[in-house]
Chain A
Amino acid sequence: MSSIKFIWSLMASVFVLISSISSQSAFDSHLNVQLYHSLDANDVTGFTSRGNITIISINLGDIVVNQKELNSKERDVLKRLAKDKKLYRLKAEVVGSDGVKTTFLSSLKACHLIQSALHDFITINFDHNNAVLGVNIKAVSLDETSDDCDNLGLDNFNEFSTVVNLKNIEAAPIPDTQGFIQKLEREKEMRDKGEIDNRSFIQKYWMYIVPAVILLLVSGVTNTEGQGAAR
């Protein structure tokens, strides 16, 4: 079992999402993100390695995720963390193409991580220069309603299945003066033309004529009936 601990397993399921098509930065760059996690609530500063994410191209969203399997000891620690309603904390060391290392921290309830069967989402935010703003971890617990952290089955899950989401900064809107002027012009044109209605009288006013006719008919029928009754 312990040998598995050191085996790096390439994740079978790696989803890559690019939230917005990046036209922001002309230049592309690659990133390497080392992931460490803190499983022991008593050791605040102790982080153990979890895996790494390699972003070959930020603009294309080309990502490779390598993560370790959890061994039984780590599973137990994680379980205890969840039981104590503590936070699972993830440390990400981001090394950009320029070699500058920045450390980011993110956390979530350990309980949610287990409830989601170690299925988590890591979001990496970039600014307009493709600089990393933050690395955030989320897990959507399958059972939304209960916050019950006591009955958890972690035994079936020993590897993280991670969705990496690259999120670029979005361009702010600018006042749409062009569109507005065009719209005004279109309206003016429309008014100048003064739409000519070519439809016939009946085509135009059928909605008034039809009920009137029906009314007439109905009243006519009742009248004849009345006459008949009188006779």
Chain B
Amino acid sequence: MEQIFANRTNLTGFENSKLRTVKKLNSKLKFIKKENKSLIKFKTMSKSSSKKFKWSLEFNTKPKSDLAVPPGFNLSAAQSHSEVARDTDQNQLIMKKSWDVALGPIKGIPMNLLIMYMAGNSISIFPIMMVGMSLIRPLKAIFTTGATFKSFELIQNSIIPQKLIFFLGNLVNIGLALYKCHSMGLLPTHASDWLAFAEPQNRLEFSDGGLLFI
């Protein structure tokens, strides 16, 4: 673990110097950001006091560092320490939050069940709207899973389990909505629903005749 941290601090130093050199080359900033996304984020968090921005670069830190560093004080070491502490704190929070988000759909199931029960099986505008919403919402949620969990992606831990739970929860919701559709008779699951498409039988034999003419 420590080795990783050390590596990281080294890198930081190196990057710092590098950043200074590209201060005027704003155009290249994007490139760097892309390259070392996590690094920049990490840095900004340590520096900025405001939580408003996800990240920002402060280039006017130089005047502050004009003062000589007291002896024995290794700026980078102190920094790295505090950062590690905060990081774990934040991670835990983020983890908790991400689990909250992931469990959201499952928690909503009882409520959904209640609403569905209340809505009844009659086919009128409100139950239809309700069923439609309860079908579309989880579907939408599944398709936007990535976006929902984007803010949690910065933590080093994998968030695949959360995503999976979220996905499953939504699936359950879809299942519920489908069941509701079924009980309302909206699903084409019976033979009668396909009757209109049944073609008439082709006759093999032809016949004609009638009463005698004589």
| Contact present between A and B (CB < 8 A) | yes
A152 at the interface (CB under 8 A from B): no
Q: Please name the residue on chain A nearest to B111 by beta carbon.
A: A218
Which residues of chain A are near B111, meaning CB under 8 Å? 218
**CA of A94 to CA of B117, assembled, Å:** 68
The digit string for B92-126, where 1 denotes a CB below 8 A from any CB of A, is 00000000000000000011001001100000000
A230 at the interface (CB under 8 A from B): no
Q: What is A's interface to B at a CB cutoff of 8 Å?
A: 211, 214-215, 218
In the A-B complex, the 4 residue pairs with the closest CB atoms: A211-B118, A214-B114, A211-B114, A211-B117
A220 to chain B, nearest CB (A): 14
A112 to chain B, nearest CB (A): 13
Which residues of chain A are near B114, meaning CB under 8 Å? 211, 214-215, 218
**CA of A211 to CA of B118, assembled, Å:** 8
A33 to chain B, nearest CB (A): 26
A146 to chain B, nearest CB (A): 14
Please classify how large the interface on chain B is, using the bins under 10, 10 to 19, 20 to 34, 35 or more.
Answer: under 10
Which residues of chain B are near A214, meaning CB under 8 Å? 114
**CA of A218 to CA of B111, assembled, Å:** 9
Which residues of chain B are near A215, meaning CB under 8 Å? 114
B115 to chain A, nearest CB (A): 10
**CA of A215 to CA of B117, assembled, Å:** 12
- Could you give 8 example pairs across A and B, Cβ below 8 Å? A211-B114, A211-B117, A211-B118, A214-B114, A215-B114, A218-B110, A218-B111, A218-B114
B172 to chain A, nearest CB (A): 19
Q: Please name the residue on chain B nearest to A212 by beta carbon.
A: B118
**CA of A211 to CA of B116, assembled, Å:** 11
Q: Which of B8-52 contact A (CB under 8 A)?
A: none
**CA of A9 to CA of B182, assembled, Å:** 60
**CA of A117 to CA of B117, assembled, Å:** 58
Which residues of chain A are near B110, meaning CB under 8 Å? 218
A206 to chain B, nearest CB (A): 13
**CA of A215 to CA of B118, assembled, Å:** 11
A213 to chain B, nearest CB (A): 11
Q: Which of B146-162 contact A (CB under 8 A)?
A: none
**CA of A214 to CA of B115, assembled, Å:** 11
**CA of A218 to CA of B112, assembled, Å:** 13
Known: A211-B118, A218-B110, A218-B114. 5 other contacts (CB 8 A): A211-B114, A211-B117, A214-B114, A215-B114, A218-B111
Which residues of chain B are near A218, meaning CB under 8 Å? 110-111, 114
A30 to chain B, nearest CB (A): 33
B204 to chain A, nearest CB (A): 9
A120 to chain B, nearest CB (A): 19
A148 to chain B, nearest CB (A): 15
B122 to chain A, nearest CB (A): 14
Q: Please name the residue on chain B nearest to A210 by beta carbon.
A: B117
**CA of A58 to CA of B118, assembled, Å:** 62
**CA of A215 to CA of B110, assembled, Å:** 11
A223 to chain B, nearest CB (A): 15
A209 to chain B, nearest CB (A): 13
A143 to chain B, nearest CB (A): 16
